[in-house]
Structure 1
Amino acid sequence: MNQKYALLFNPFSFKNGIELKNRLIMAPMTNFSSNPDGTVTDQEIRYYERRSEGVGMVITACTNVTANGKGFPGEFAGDTDEMIPSLRKLASAIKAKGSKAILQIFHGGREVPPELVPNGDVVSASDIPSAEGKPVPRSLDAHEVESIIRDFGEATRRAIEAGYDGVEIHGANGYLIQQFFSPHANRREDQWGGSLGKRMAFPLAVVDSVKKAVAEHADDSFLVGYRFSPEEPTTPGITMADTLALVDALSVKKLDYLHVSLMDFWSEPRRGVEDKRPRIEIINERVGDLVPVIGVGSIYTADDALAAIKTGVPLIALGRELIIDPDFVKKIEQGKESEIVTKIDKTKQEELVVPDPLWKAIVSTPGWFPGVD
C-alpha cells in the first residue's frame, strides 16, 4: 500500500470497545431487490457479500419497523418476528466476510407508496404532503406515535436476535423521523410538535426506545447509530441551526456514532449559520469530541477518501462508488488505487454482482451514477 493512504486503514475503536479494521464503511443504499414478502433474496446476499470484504462495517439498506412504514418496492422487512431468519441470513453473510453488520431501521412516513402499505394508509406527523401531487398523509394520533416508537425498539430486538453488530436509526432523507423534526412536515400542537424542542421529541424518544431494547436484549458491544440530513430545501424546513440543536441533544444520548447524510461530502450550509465551511466540518467540530461522526457523499477516488478523512471526520462511508467498484478498498490496500473505476460500466452487471431491480434503476436514471447519461 502507498503509505500516503495509511490514515484510511488505521483501526477505529468505538467507546464500547468494538473495533473496525479500517475507516471505510459501506453506506446504506436501497436496492429494491427483496422478495414480495419482505425476505432477503439470494441476489441481495451476493450483492452484499461482494462488497463486505474490504470495508470495516456495512450498513444495510433500510428495513421497515412497521407494515405501514414500507418505503420502497423490494425492501426487506423487520416488522415481525417471522423476518428474523431472513435478517439473520444477511447478517451472517456480511460478517463472514470480516465486516461488522449494521441494520438500518426506519419508517417511511409520508414518503411510502400507498400501494405498498395496508389499506393505502399513508401516515406522518401532520397531514402535509411532501410535494404537490404527492399523497396527503394522515396525521398520526398520540397512541399511534407511541406505538411506532415501541416498534423501533422491537425491530432492534430482532436485529439483536438475528446477530447484527448494531442498528442505525434512519432519521434522514425525509422519512418519518425527519418528518417529526421538520417544521415543513410537522404542524402538530401537542407534545410531539410546535417548538424546536417538541419537534425533537419523537427522534429522541425513538433513540430511547432503541437504547432500552439494547439494554434488555444485548450487551455493551451492540452499536447504535443515528443518521440525519442536516438541512431541507423547503421553507419552512430544517436549517443548520435546527440540526446543530438536534446533534447537541443526540450527543448526550450515548450513541456510538452520528451519520451525516449528504450527496456531497463538501456541501455547504444553505441557511441557519453564518459559516461557509462544509456542513460535515461544522457538525464534527460541534459534537465530534462526544460522538464519532461518519461522513459520506460523492467520494469516488482514493484521494477523495483521503481528503475527507483529513478533515478530522473519523469514518468515511462509500455508497455509489462501492457499486461502481466493489474492490475500491482492496485496490488501495494493494497499491492499485490508479485502477479504481469511478464510472459505472453498463456492460458489467454480472461482474459487479448488482441485483436486477437495482441495476435497472441505475441505468435508467440519468445523473444518479457517474457514467449514466
Structure 2
Amino acid sequence: MPSLFSSFRLGGGLTLPNRIVMAPMSRVRATADGLATPSMATYYAQRATAGLIVTEGVQPSRIGQSNPGTPGLHTDEQTESWRQVTDAVHVNGGRVFAQIMHGGRVSHPETTGFQPVGPSAVAGEGNVFTPSGPQPMPVPRALATHEIPEHVRSYADAARRAVDAGFDGVELHGANGYLISQFLSSNANLREDRYGGSVTNRIRFAVEVAAATAEAVGAARTGIRLSPGGGFWGVTEDDPAELNTALLTELARLDLAYVHLEATTDEETLLLLRKTWPGTLIVNPTMPLGPTQTGRAEADHWLDLGADLIAFGRAFLANPDLVERLRTDLPLATADESTYYQGGDAGYITYPAYQHTA
C-alpha cells in the first residue's frame, strides 16, 4: 500500500510531495465583486504543505454565483486578484487547482441580480445564503437547449483565466447539487431533449464541460469532483451506480488529471467506480458536513482500497500544518464553526501551527 506521505505524479507534469489533498471548502471571504484578497492568499499559503490544494468554489459567470462573498473568475480584475494567491502558494512550495463551480438553481436574485437557471424549472430544497440572510431557493428558469453551450463554455473560459492567474489546474465541481450535478440528477433534470431522460443524456452536460475545459487548458490540468448518490440541495440520483459508471466511462476517453469522489454512497459502489476509472482517483472518505471528519485511519483505509490521493476537508481549517500533524501523530485542533461563514480573519488565518512544549 502506498504511504500517505509518498510522492505522486499527477497529470504527467506535476509532482506532489505527498498524497494529501486539501478539499475545496467555501469560506466566503472574497470582496463583494468577487475578488480574491490578501487574507485569502495567506490562508492558502499557510496550507501549502498539502500535496495539492483545491480552492473553494469559484463562479465562472455572474449568473453562476451561488452565495455572496464567493470569488469569481470571469472578469479581468478577478483574474488578476488571484495572482497573489497562486504566487503565495507557489512561493511556499505548494500546488493549487481552482475549483470552478456554477451554482445553477442553488442561487438567488438578491445575490446575482438574475433568476437562477437549471436544467428544469424545479426548485432546490432548503435555504440559500443571500445578502439579506438565508432564503428559500426560487424556482429556476429552465435553460433552453440553445443556451446550454454558453454555460459549457463558461467553465472553459474560467479555466483559461485560472491558468492565466497562475493556477496549476482546475477542478470542475460536478458534485453536491450544483449545476453539473443538477443535470446528472433524475429529479432536478426533467428535460426531454438530448440533455435529459436517459443516463446517456443526463451525463452529456458533464462530459461536454469536461471536454471543453480539457481542450481549453489541457486534460492534464483538468479534474472533476463527483458525489455519487449524494442528496445535496434535494438532488436525487435514482441510479448512482449506473449513472456514474457511464459518466466515468465517457470521461476516461478524455484522460483527465483526476476524478475526485466523495463518500456519498456505499463502499461497494465506490469500489465499482474505482474499477471503472483508469486514471488518478482522489477519495474524500467521509460524508461532507457529516458527523465525522477524515483522519489517518480513513485515509489509510482508502489508500488500501486503491485510491491514489486522499482529500481532507474540515481537518485543514484549524490545522494549517495538517500534513505534519498527520505525519507525527500530533493531536488535531477543532475549528470554530461559528467562524465558517462570518467573514474576517478570525477563524480563517488565525489558527496556529502546533505548539511544542518542553
Aligned to 1:78, which of 52, 73, 76?
A: 73
Q: Does 2:287 correspond to 1:286?
A: no
Match of 1:255 in 2: 256
State the Cα RMSD in Å: 2.6
Match of 1:205 in 2: 208
| Structure 1 residue 299 displacement after superposition | 4.5
| Structure 1 residue 243 displacement after superposition | 1.4
CA contact (8 A) 1:43 1:355 kept: no
| Structure 1 residue 286 displacement after superposition | 2.4
Q: Does 2:152 correspond to 1:149?
A: yes
In structure 2, give the amino acid aligned to 1:204: V
How do residues 1-373 of structure 1 correspond to structure 2 at under 5 angstroms?
7-52=3-48, 54-118=49-113, 120-131=114-125, 133-215=136-218, 222-233=220-231, 237-238=237-238, 239-262=240-263, 268-269=265-266, 277-287=267-277, 290-296=278-284, 297=286, 298-333=292-327, 335=328, 337=329, 339-341=330-332, 343-344=334-335, 356-357=342-343
Q: Partners of 2:17 and 2:244 in 1: how far apart?
A: 30
Structure 2 CA distance for partners of 1:82 and 1:279, relative to 1, 3 Å:
same
Structure 2 CA distance for partners of 1:184 and 1:232, relative to 1, 3 Å:
farther
Structure 2 CA distance for partners of 1:11 and 1:361, relative to 1, 3 Å:
closer
Which structure 2 segments of 5+ residues have no match? 127-135, 287-291, 349-358
Structure 2 CA distance for partners of 1:236 and 1:316, relative to 1, 3 Å:
closer
Q: Partners of 2:2 and 2:209 in 1: how far apart?
A: 37
For residue 32 of structure 1, give the secondary structure of its aligned residue in structure 2.
coil
Q: Partners of 1:155 and 1:130 in 2: how far apart?
A: 25
> Identity of aligned pairs, percent?
31
CA contact (8 A) 1:280 1:295 kept: no
| Structure 1 residue 76 displacement after superposition | 0.5
| Structure 1 residue 342 displacement after superposition | 5.2
| Structure 1 residue 169 displacement after superposition | 0.6
Q: Partners of 1:237 and 1:39 in 2: how far apart?
A: 34
CA contact (8 A) 2:65 2:112 kept: yes
| Structure 1 residue 38 displacement after superposition | 0.4
| Structure 1 residue 192 displacement after superposition | 1.6
For residue 10 of structure 1, give the secondary structure of its aligned residue in structure 2.
coil
TM-score of the superposed pair, with normalisation by structure 2: 0.85
| Structure 1 residue 300 displacement after superposition | 4.0
Q: Partners of 2:223 and 2:118 in 1: how far apart?
A: 23
Structure 2 CA distance for partners of 1:180 and 1:20, relative to 1, 3 Å:
same
TM-score of the superposed pair, with normalisation by structure 1: 0.81
For residue 164 of structure 1, give the secondary structure of its aligned residue in structure 2.
coil
| Structure 1 residue 359 displacement after superposition | 8.2
Q: Partners of 2:120 and 2:235 in 1: how far apart?
A: 16
CA contact (8 A) 2:182 2:189 kept: yes
| Structure 1 residue 343 displacement after superposition | 3.1
Structure 2 CA distance for partners of 1:358 and 1:286, relative to 1, 3 Å:
farther
| Structure 1 residue 143 displacement after superposition | 2.8
Q: Single out whichever of 229-238 and 165-174 deviates more from structure 2.
A: 229-238
In structure 2, give the amino acid aligned to 1:282: L
Match of 2:353 in 1: none
| Structure 1 residue 16 displacement after superposition | 1.7
Q: Partners of 1:93 and 1:200 in 2: how far apart?
A: 37
Q: Partners of 1:98 and 1:200 in 2: how far apart?
A: 37
